């Protein structure tokens, strides 16, 4: 049986998407082309790999086994192709990096730009995910390298400390504050280092707060800090959508406890005010992470190293403290 890599990729895509049309879109092929590929493989095997109905395509037991083995074969083919191409020392291949939105605000664009300049043969994909979802993406194989926090760590990940992230009390800026004036056409954007004041946890307790509900790790850290000082946070709303939370804060209806990196642009523009919480500080450790048990490639190590370099460069703007081991 002489199956092509395109046919194998079609079977894997159908098994993942449970739909021939959706698989065709992913593969950038027409639906009839993918259907013909599937029919050819099924004809060679003498049995169906999927049952088709109006709802899509459901793998049979044979289909599940075939898709699993085909995926392994395609991964092995990709790996050996990358190895051969990198014999001259170049980094080549595809890699996906997952990190929370709030961290990505400071790292996504610099990471893409840095890698494109140094490693032009690498296809880098970045994935913005809910903090709880980053470990899941790594363990499922949807991402190769991630950034996780100590609030969302997973014992099945190998982590390397990146930076300490202090949480801040974030509220609407006073109306008298004015955002920076627009720069003239053609001028380079200035690098603005934010000036951040501090606030004690006892003072935070006096504010009406909107806090996340479904982030058990982050919420647990916040609640533990208040309990340590025998204080009770004045939680008036629980909001798990970041955009909605920021809009609520900017309206002046509540404050929130957030990391600075996620709101740094709005603080610099004068729309929000962020004050670092002290006495006691609330902080979490950011780390790069890769799945345990998976071979760490040169490309994965290069991505991790670049993330660490960029985190150090962005430390002032993101209000990160370099980790001291």
Least confident stretch, 88-102, 271-285, 306-320:
88-102
- State the average pLDDT over residues 260-273: 91
pTM comes to: 0.69
d(CA 201, CA 29): 57
pLDDT score, position 323: 82
| Rounded average pLDDT over 153-178 | 84
Q: What local confidence, expressed as pLDDT, does residue 131 receive? A: 84
324 compared with 85, residue with greater pLDDT: 324
Name the residue among 290, 283, 320 with its Cα closest to residue 99.
Answer: 290
67 band by pLDDT with thresholds 50, 70 and 90: very high
How does pLDDT run across 102-146, given as a tens digit for each residue?
A: 898 889 999 999 999 989 988 999 998 888 889 988 988 889 999
Segment 200-213 mean pLDDT = 93
Residues linked to residue 95 through DSSP beta bridges, in sequence order: 124
- Tell me the backbone φ, ψ of residue 92, rounded to 5 degrees: -135, 165
Distance of alpha carbon 149 from alpha carbon 156, whole angstroms: 14
pLDDT (0 to 100) of residue 254: 95
**21 φ/ψ angles, rounded to the nearest 5 degrees:** -65, -40
Q: Which of 35-44, 164-173, 190-199, 262-271 has the lowest mean pLDDT?
A: 190-199
The predicted-structure confidence for 294-319, as pLDDT tens digits, reads as follows: 778 888 999 999 999 999 999 988 88
**Tokens at residue 185, please?**
């056409």
What the chain holds in terms of domains, given with CATH numbers, is 5-86 (1.10.10.10), 88-151+293-317 (3.40.190.10), 165-177+193-284 (3.40.190.290)
Torsion of CA 243, 244, 246, 252, to 10 degrees: 160
* Separation between Cα atoms, residue 149 and residue 217, nearest integer Å: 9
Tracing tokens 């595809």 back to the chain, one arrives at 94
pLDDT for 210-265, tens place per residue? Answer: 998 866 678 889 999 999 999 999 999 998 888 899 999 999 999 999 999 989 88
Radius of gyration, CA atoms only, the chain? 24
DSSP one-letter string for 92-103: -EEEEEEEEHHH
Q: Is the pLDDT of residue 79 over 80?
A: no
Q: What is the mean pLDDT of the chain?
A: 87
**What mean pLDDT comes out for the span 78-84?**
75
Q: With a cut of 50, say whether residue 184 has pLDDT above it.
A: no
Q: Tokens 């092929």 — which residue?
A: 29
Query: What is the bridge-based pairing of β-strands 157-172 and 272-278?
Result: antiparallel
């Amino acid at each position: 049986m002489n199956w092509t890599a395109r046919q194998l990729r079609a079977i894997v895509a159908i098994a993942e998407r449970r739909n021939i049309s959706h698989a065709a879109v992913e593969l950038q092929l027409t639906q009839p082309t993918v259907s013909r590929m599937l029919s050819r493989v099924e004809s060679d095997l003498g049995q169906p790999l999927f049952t088709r109905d109006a709802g899509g395509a459901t793998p049979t037991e044979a289909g599940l086994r075939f898709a699993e083995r085909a995926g392994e074969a395609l991964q092995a083919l990709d790996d050996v192709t990358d190895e051969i191409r990198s014999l001259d020392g170049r980094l080549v291949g595809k890699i996906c990096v997952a990190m929370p939105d709030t961290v990505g605000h400071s790292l996504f664009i610099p990471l893409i730009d840095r890698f494109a300049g140094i490693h032009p043969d690498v296809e880098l994909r970045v994935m913005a995910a809910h903090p709880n979802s980053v470990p899941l993406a790594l363990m499922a194989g949807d991402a190769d390298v991630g950034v996780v926090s100590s609030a969302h760590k997973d014992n099945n990940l190998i982590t390397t400390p990146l930076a300490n992230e202090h949480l801040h009390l974030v509220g609407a800026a006073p109306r008298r504050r004015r955002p920076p004036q627009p720069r003239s056409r053609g001028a380079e954007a200035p690098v603005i280092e934010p000036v951040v004041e501090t606030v004690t946890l006892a003072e935070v307790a006096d504010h009406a707060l909107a806090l996340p509900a479904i982030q058990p790790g982050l919420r647990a850290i916040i609640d533990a800090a208040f309990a340590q000082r025998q204080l009770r946070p004045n939680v008036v709303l629980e909001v798990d959508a970041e955009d909605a939370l920021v809009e609520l804060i900017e309206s002046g209806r509540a404050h929130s406890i957030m990391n600075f990196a996620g709101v740094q642009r709005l603080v610099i523009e004068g729309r929000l005010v962020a004050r670092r919480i002290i006495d006691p500080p609330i902080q979490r450790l950011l780390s790069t992470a890769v799945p345990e048990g998976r071979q760490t490639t040169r490309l994965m190590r290069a991505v991790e190293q670049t993330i660490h370099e960029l985190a150090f460069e962005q430390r002032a703007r993101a209000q990160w403290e370099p980790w001291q081991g």
